[in-house]
Amino acid sequence: MSVRSLTRKRPRSVAGQVFVLQVAVVLLLAAGAVLALVLQSRHDGDREARNRSVAVAETFAHSIGLQEALKAPDPSKILQPLTEETRRRAGVDFIVVMDTRGIRYTHPQPDRIGQRFVGTIEPSLAGRVHTESVEGPLGREIQAIVPVTATGGEVVALVSAGLTVQNVTGVVERQLPVILGVSAAGLAVATIGTALVTRRLRRQTHGLGTLEMTRMYEHHDAVLHAVREGVLITDGDGRLLLANDEAKRLLDLPPDAEGRHIGQLPRLDQQMAGLLLSGREATDEVLAAGNRLLVVNQRPTKPHGQPEGTAVTIRDSTEMRVLTSRADAARRRLKLLYDAGVGIGTTLDVVRTAEELADVAVPRFADFVTVDLADQVLHGDEPTGTSADMRRTAVSGIRDDQPLYPRGKLIDFLPSTPQARGLDTGQAELVPDLADAPGWFAQDPPVARSIIEYGIHSLITAPLKARGVILGVVNFWRMEKPEPFDDDDVSLAEELVARAAVSIDNARRYTREHTVAVALQRSLLPRGIPEQSAVEVAHYYLPAQSGVGGDWFDVIPLSGSRVALVVGDVVGHGLHAAATMGRLRTAVHNFSSLDLPPDELLSRLDDLVQRIDHNGEDGADADDDGMLGATCLYAVYDPVSQRCVMARAGHPPPVLVRPDGPVEILQLPIGPPLGLGGMPFETAEFHLSEGSQLVLYTDGLIEDRTRDIDEGLELLRTALSHPDRPPQASCRAILDVLLPARPRDDVALLIARTRTLGADRVAEWDVPFEPSAVGAMRAVVVKKLDEWGLSALAFGTELILSELITNAIRYGSAPVRMRLLRDRTLTCEVSDGSSTSPHLRYAATTDEGGRGLFLVAQLSQRWGTRYTPAGKVIWAEQALPGASGDPEQELLGFFDIDNIDIDTL
């Protein structure tokens, strides 16, 4: 449509319309410029006056010496010259210093000094800087009032500085001619430009009239606003030139967005604004704008060969965002469950497994996680399945100052709590709002109140259930996220807890089996060291972290005040190794009762292991795996001769600490481990001075991942380099140096410091090989017992030696020797050169003989036979006077002693 002229005679041309429009625009711009200049001048003048006034007043208020001048008898005399000089240099019209009542100390007009200040001083008395416009003595003034504060913050005076209005105006008068001249020049340029535009329009419109151009615009507008894709066009300065309806909807643009700078659009997303202002090319770039996910394409426009703006198209892909969000949530969930599968159950420790569960869930799923297990579970037993006696086992969170129950607390959940309901039903419980959960609140109101005040607002409690048995409960607490847990979170919690429950149950069952194995093993190990005088003993045993094993040690008293020292090691861990250790230990006790030499004892033990292995392979019990292997070291020490005989079957060598200081590793002949067979065992004999320390150990003491065996042996030698220490102190020193923090194998250690049985406690005689020597030997023995103060044992000792010597002469061979040992018992020994062993039997009433060894057995605590390379030794032990079970009193009740003819025995 066309614009009519004022005379309505004919329509004006486009160039004429442009000319009229340009004249109007020029006049409007000139008027606007004048108005804007006036307003801006006033605004800039006021702002400049306020800024300068504040700066000058604050500078003077904080100047050095001002407060000292205020304290002078006549502050005006000091301050008036200073303020006037400062006022002239700072370019302000006045600087006034006044007290807190507003009475002036200075003023450009001296007659105003001492009068009340014109203005508002209350804000400045409160410590604030105050600016205002007032009608003052110099006219209309813009002034700033600044407080002068003492060191403690007290306002002691005020400083005001300002300018009169007439000094900050006058810009309009100076610039108005310039504006009018520019407007006239613009009108002239517009006239010339109109002619040029007319010619250019004819070329650019290709001769189209206004009607055709209007129709083209309408078609363009219809297409632009009908498409379901946002379109934006910006210029090179970042101003929005065009936005269709879809773009305004997607970007939430205001109706007047076109023509405004991109950075000034209030609700435009910052990422989108940054892309539009950058002007760079973008192809299918995905941006989040509010709750929408937009796909943006941007290309620069080059209408004249130079970039002058951009054309942007936008598509809504919010549904794709929803799908992506769900996929991301599923990925995070799978990652959490994967990490739980890898990170939970790395050990077979119940407490550690519960801690791993809590650590995995924080902070990816919950802000705090607590795990409460039944007390029975912690000990490896089956739980009762009630809410009572729940022990807080693990606590993990994003902060350490949380108000939840601490680790180790025993909790009895009330029936109204979600934990108790979950334990009863076996299902997870969701508490969206803890502040509105009276059942949970009733458990412990003070603690519940502190939890809510702390900021924890939502809870999921899920029972730990494995194989149909409820082991405990896991609590997931949320604080950081404002939204509560939902049903999807409950599903994830149930799945996470279900996986952890299997690991905890495995750890529980392992704990039970480990406890049983430890109990079995400790029952098979020596509960105490038997009393004996040959050695002073210290010992230590520690099972491996991975389970009990088959290490053992023993101290076995032998005849003749001797003692056997044993250390052994069964390969493997668990009940089988512990049971095997018990069998071997029992066998060693049985074989040692026969007084076998160390090499022969190990040979019999080796045969036993082979038979056990053979029975395990061929027997009916398919679960018996036999012995996986065992080592043993057996030593016998005689305190009379101070000799020690040893043999080893695949075991580490012992260490000897001599009393004069040297520490040496005894080089014994190496025998094969027990059960291999085919090779004999050899013995080695050593003379041990009194006070020597013999150290026996298992390989778990010297072997470790961080060092080799040689290094371990050297550390052992170093720890034993103090021979004056007692065995108990040496044991502690060895453990401090060699014992690892988490031993992978059992550790058994036995330290024996040797003693001697002195010559004053040993008596020995050669016995003539004839029956008549029995009476003489009895007399010698009675005399020795009198010397030792053991006359009370003379009768029994005479009977025992008479029988033993008679048997040696009658059934044995020369030479015959007799020995008495006074130790914890009185030991009588008779040796001869024959290997024939006597046997105890019950004689019939019609038999003339056969009752000798029976009498020996009745008179002694114990008796027996041991074999030597030169023959045999028959020995009998009697309790010293005052000991329980006196054999003489028992014998008096057995038969009438008065009817016995001792000489005929």
Three-state secondary structure call for residue 577: helix
pLDDT surpasses 70 at 108:
yes
Percentage, residues of the chain above pLDDT 90: 27
Q: Which residues pair with 18 in a beta bridge?
A: none
Give the whole-angstrom CA distance, residue 407 versus residue 399: 15
Residue 264's identity, in one-letter code, is Q
- Alpha-carbon torsion angle 599, 600, 606, 607, nearest 10: 160
Q: Which residues pair with 425 in a beta bridge?
A: none
pLDDT surpasses 90 at 226:
no
User: Quick count: other Cβ atoms within 10 Å of Cβ 271?
Assistant: 14
Element (H, E) at 288: strand 282-289
Q: Kindly report whether the peptide bond that precedes residue 415 is cis, defined as omega within 30 degrees of 0.
A: no
pLDDT band at 129; cut points 50, 70, 90: confident
CA distances from 516 to 174, 513, 520, 548, 575 (A): 106, 5, 6, 10, 8
Question: Can you give the pLDDT at residue 859?
Answer: 85
pLDDT surpasses 80 at 448:
yes
Spacing of C-alpha 601 from chain mean position: 51
Q: Which residues pair with 294 in a beta bridge?
A: 287, 316
Q: Could you give the angle at the alpha carbon of 857 between the alpha carbons of 855 and 861, nearest 5°?
A: 130
Q: What is the pLDDT of residues 770-823, one digit of tens each?
A: 888 888 898 999 999 999 999 999 998 898 888 888 888 888 888 999 999 999
Percentage, residues of the chain above pLDDT 70: 85
Give the sign of the dihedral formed by CA 405, CA 408, CA 414, CA 416: positive
Return all residues near 748 (Cβ < 8 A) that are at least 6 apart: 539, 540, 541, 551, 552, 553, 567, 569, 697, 698, 700, 701
Give the sign of the dihedral formed by CA 211, CA 217, CA 221, CA 227: positive
Question: Can you give the pLDDT at residue 141?
Answer: 80
Q: What is the pLDDT of residues 827-846, one digit of tens each?
A: 999 999 888 777 766 655 44
pLDDT band at 430; cut points 50, 70, 90: very high
**With contact defined as beta carbons under 8 Å apart, do 635 and 651 qualify?**
no
Token reading at 460: 């999921």
pLDDT surpasses 90 at 641:
yes
Give the whole-angstrom CA distance, residue 718 versus residue 713: 9
Token reading at 551: 């290490």
Please state, rounded to an integer, the average pLDDT across all residues of the chain: 82
What angle, 0 to 180 degrees and rounded to 10, lies between the N-to-C axes of helices 75-90 and 14-61? 150
User: Quick count: other Cβ atoms within 10 Å of Cβ 584?
Assistant: 25
Token reading at 305: 């060969």
Highest averaged pLDDT of the listed ranges 129-143, 331-345, 629-643:
629-643
pLDDT band at 428; cut points 50, 70, 90: very high
Give the whole-angstrom CA distance, residue 658 versus residue 837: 39
- As a 3-state breakdown, the chain gives helix, strand, coil percent values, each rounded to 5, of 40, 25, 35
Closest CA to 875 of 830, 812, 842: 830
pLDDT surpasses 90 at 370:
yes
Give the whole-angstrom CA distance, residue 347 versus residue 351: 10
pLDDT band at 235; cut points 50, 70, 90: confident
Question: Can you give the pLDDT at residue 326?
Answer: 67
Question: Can you give the pLDDT at residue 459?
Answer: 94
pLDDT surpasses 80 at 194:
no
Question: Can you give the pLDDT at residue 616?
Answer: 55
**The residue to which tokens 């604080």 are assigned:** 479
pLDDT surpasses 80 at 736:
yes
pLDDT surpasses 60 at 863:
yes
Give the whole-angstrom CA distance, residue 454 versus residue 442: 18
Closest CA to 570 of 647, 645, 675, 668: 675
User: Quick count: other Cβ atoms within 10 Å of Cβ 258?
Assistant: 15
Strand 643-649 to 670-671 pairing: parallel
Q: What is the pLDDT of residues 578-588, one digit of tens each?
A: 788 888 999 99
Higher pLDDT, 848 or 830: 830
Return all residues near 530 (Cβ < 8 A) that are at least 6 apart: 555, 556, 557
Spacing of C-alpha 219 from chain mean position: 71
User: Quick count: other Cβ atoms within 10 Å of Cβ 181?
Assistant: 10
Q: What is the pLDDT of residues 267-317, one digit of tens each?
A: 888 888 888 888 888 888 888 777 777 888 888 887 555 557 888 888 877
pLDDT surpasses 60 at 650:
yes
Question: Can you give the pLDDT at residue 783?
Answer: 92
Token reading at 682: 């050899």
- Alpha-carbon torsion angle 672, 673, 679, 684, nearest 10: 60
Question: Can you give the pLDDT at residue 897?
Answer: 43
Q: DSSP letter for 654, please.
A: P
Backbone Cα Rg of the chain: 55
User: Quick count: other Cβ atoms within 10 Å of Cβ 896?
Assistant: 7
User: Quick count: other Cβ atoms within 10 Å of Cβ 707?
Assistant: 14
Three-state secondary structure call for residue 285: strand
Return all residues near 528 (Cβ < 8 A) that are at least 6 apart: none
Question: Can you give the pLDDT at residue 675?
Answer: 85
Give the whole-angstrom CA distance, residue 664 versus residue 690: 16
Higher pLDDT, 899 or 343: 343
pLDDT (mean) for 372-386: 82
Give the whole-angstrom CA distance, residue 694 versus residue 701: 16
**With contact defined as beta carbons under 8 Å apart, do 617 and 604 qualify?**
no
Q: Is pTM, for the whole model, over 0.75?
A: no
Give the whole-angstrom CA distance, residue 732 versus residue 734: 5
CA distances from 96 to 28, 50, 99, 866 (A): 45, 15, 10, 125
Q: Kindly report whether the peptide bond that precedes residue 446 is cis, defined as omega within 30 degrees of 0.
A: no
DSSP code string of 848-871: SS--HHHHHHHHSSEEEEEEETTE
